[in-house]
Amino acid sequence: MKKIVYYVASSIDGFIAGPNGDISKFQLEGPAVDKYHSDLQSFQTVIMGRNTYEFGYQYGLEPGHPAYPHMKHFIFSNTLEFNVKHDQVQCLELSAGNIEKIRNDSPTDVYLCGGGQFAGWLLEQGLIDTLKLKLNPTVLEGGVRIFGDSKASVKMELIQRESFDKAFDILTYNLS
pLDDT in tens, 96-155: 999 999 999 999 999 999 889 999 999 999 999 999 999 999 999 999 999 999 999 999
Question: Whole-model pTM?
Answer: 0.95
Residue 176: the pLDDT is 76
Residue 110: the pLDDT is 98
82 Cβ contact list (under 8 Å, min separation 6): 63, 64, 89
pLDDT in tens, 18-38: 998 999 999 888 898 999 999
Q: In the predicted model, what is the mean pLDDT of the chain? A: 95
Are the C-beta atoms of 47 and 111 separated by less than 8 Å?
Answer: yes
**Mean pLDDT lowest among 6-15, 78-87, 156-165:** 78-87
Torsion over CA: 140, 67, 79, 118 (sign) = negative
**Cis bond upstream, residue 49 (ω within 30):** no
Q: How far apart are CA 1 and CA 3, in angstroms?
A: 6
